[in-house]
């Protein structure tokens, strides 16, 4: 099962849409050419990532983590509650974003809640009240567009922590985002090392791995040795720099109770892109190499 769905991006030269999915990240890490399959125009993964981070008005940022999207049209009768049930599509997954777009004038879908408005989403079933603000609307249509975490990722703690990091980033809770992003990367690194090191049968790597149970030691000391031994592609200096910058701020927050580092949205976005790419590396590279043995 793929880790993420097809994510379509538009070529800035020819305007055609192309898949921005796992194959793109494989090519990125292995240094292969990246370009539009139609006009062969080259593109920059970092710029595409920045675009995905910035274009969040319809929840597009969730696609990077592995969330899936769908849409449906519904018929609304003014004054008559509508039960929207997404269970057949989402199943045991988790709804993380929803958008209602009325088609036409007059009727606006409003969510009905009890005494305590839910936040975040607690169910895949939502009751809507079609409010007629014009006083003359008949049955009207609306498009429901939503993103959800598929059920096969719900129990992947690294994915859910990265999801939390993204959500906190868009809420402006930057320090919370940093802690969640670092935790996500630590979990994915630990899983990568535990799955990969035993397959090497290399006692030196195993001994180095067991020397210290810290992220700094395992990311900056063990991982490079393992990558060299297995001839995996390097993660990249720019990614490593962002990972270590974010790690330092996270350590201040955890060990000192706060961080004096001033962060703006763009600076944290660039760090999160670095963290996310390292996260993708751990999800893809080891698995893809050993699956083909």
Q: What is the CATH number of domain 157-291?
A: 1.20.120
Task: Pick the most confident of 42-46, 64-68, 76-80, 247-251.
Answer: 247-251
Helices (H) and strands (E) in the chain, counts: 11, 8
Closest CA to 247 of 261, 232, 228: 261
Distance CA 61, CA 166 (A): 8
For residues 15-43, average pLDDT: 76
Tokens read off for 123:
């169910």
Cβ–Cβ < 8 Å for 13, 41: yes
Distance CA 29, CA 282 (A): 11
Phi, psi (rounded to 5 degrees) for 182:
-65, -40
Which pLDDT score is estimated for 24? 79
Place of tokens 């990972």: 243
Domain coordinates in residue numbering, the chain: 8-65, 68-149, 157-291
Q: How confident is the model at residue 6 (pLDDT cuts 50, 70, 90)?
A: very low
- What does the pLDDT look like over 123-149, one tens digit per residue? 788 888 888 766 666 778 899 999 899
Closest CA to 278 of 230, 242, 251: 242
- What does the pLDDT look like over 138-191, one tens digit per residue? 778 899 999 899 999 999 999 999 999 999 998 899 999 999 999 999 999 999
- What does the pLDDT look like over 191-232, one tens digit per residue? 999 999 999 999 999 999 999 999 999 999 999 999 999 999
Place of tokens 């949205």: 265
Closest CA to 162 of 289, 17, 4, 43: 4
SS3 label, residue 270: helix
Cβ–Cβ < 8 Å for 67, 154: no
Between 110 and 55, the higher pLDDT residue: 110
Cβ–Cβ < 8 Å for 188, 283: yes
Which pLDDT score is estimated for 41? 79
Distance CA 61, CA 147 (A): 10
Phi, psi (rounded to 5 degrees) for 108:
-120, 120
């Amino acid at each position: 099962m793929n880790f993420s769905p097809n994510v379509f991006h538009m070529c800035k030269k020819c305007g055609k849409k192309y898949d921005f999915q796992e194959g793109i990240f494989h090519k990125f890490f292995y240094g292969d050419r990246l370009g539009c399959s139609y006009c062969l125009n080259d593109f920059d993964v970092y710029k595409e990532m920045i675009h995905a981070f910035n274009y969040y008005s319809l929840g597009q940022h969730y696609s990077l983590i592995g969330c899936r999207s769908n849409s449906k049209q519904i018929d609304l009768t003014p004054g008559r509650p509508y039960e929207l049930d997404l269970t057949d599509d989402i199943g045991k997954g988790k709804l993380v974003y929803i958008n209602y777009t009325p088609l036409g004038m007059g009727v606006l879908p409003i969510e009905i809640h009890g005494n305590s408005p839910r936040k975040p989403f607690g169910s895949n079933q939502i009751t809507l009240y079609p409010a007629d603000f014009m006083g003359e609307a008949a049955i009207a249509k609306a498009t429901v567009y939503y993103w959800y975490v598929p059920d096969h990722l719900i129990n992947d703690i690294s994915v859910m922590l990265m999801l939390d990091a993204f959500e906190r980033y868009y809420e402006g809770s930057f320090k919370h985002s940093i802690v969640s992003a670092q935790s996500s990367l630590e979990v994915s690194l630990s899983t990568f090392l535990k799955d990969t090191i035993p397959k090497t049968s290399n006692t030196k790597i195993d001994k180095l791995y067991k020397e210290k149970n810290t992220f700094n030691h395992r990311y900056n000391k063990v991982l490079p040795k393992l990558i060299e031994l297995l001839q995996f592609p390097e993660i990249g200096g720019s990614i490593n720099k962002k990972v270590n910058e974010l790690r330092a701020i996270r350590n201040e927050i955890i060990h000192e109770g706060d961080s004096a580092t001033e962060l703006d949205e763009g600076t944290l976005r660039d760090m999160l892109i670095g963290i996310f790419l390292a996260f993708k590396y751990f999800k893809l590279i080891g698995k893809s190499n050993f699956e083909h043995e």
